[in-house]
Amino acid sequence: MKASELRTKDVAGLQKEVGDLLKAHFGLRMQKATQQLTNHTQLGNTRRDIARAKTVLAQKKKEAAK
């Protein structure tokens, strides 16, 4: 997901997105542990998406505090 797409969401939507991404990342980690994961690049992509969403969320919270 691109940062421009994330910036269109509100704070509640971003928090939901982060939660969904964390659940997806956990599922991928479990698939890796049980050797069921075939595309290992998904792990890195999901981790980057989580970081991207958290960054935009922090920016929005900072703007709201002003």
Share of the chain above pLDDT 70, in %: 100
Q: What is the pLDDT of residue 21?
A: 97
Q: What is the pLDDT of residue 45?
A: 96
Q: Which token pair is 50?
A: 């989580």
- Tens-digit pLDDT profile for residues 49-64: 999 999 999 999 999 8
Q: Please answer whether residues 3 and 52 qualify as being in contact, where contact means their C-beta atoms are separated by less than 8 angstroms.
A: yes
Tell me what the pLDDT averaged over the chain comes to.
94
**Residue 66 pLDDT level (bands cut at 50, 70, 90):** confident
Domains (range + CATH), the chain: 3-61 (1.10.287)
User: What is the Cα gyration radius of the chain?
Assistant: 14
Q: What mean pLDDT comes out for the span 32-55? A: 96
Backbone phi, psi, residue 35, to 5°: 60, 35
> Among the residues of 1-66, which ranges form H helices?
3-7, 11-33, 41-65
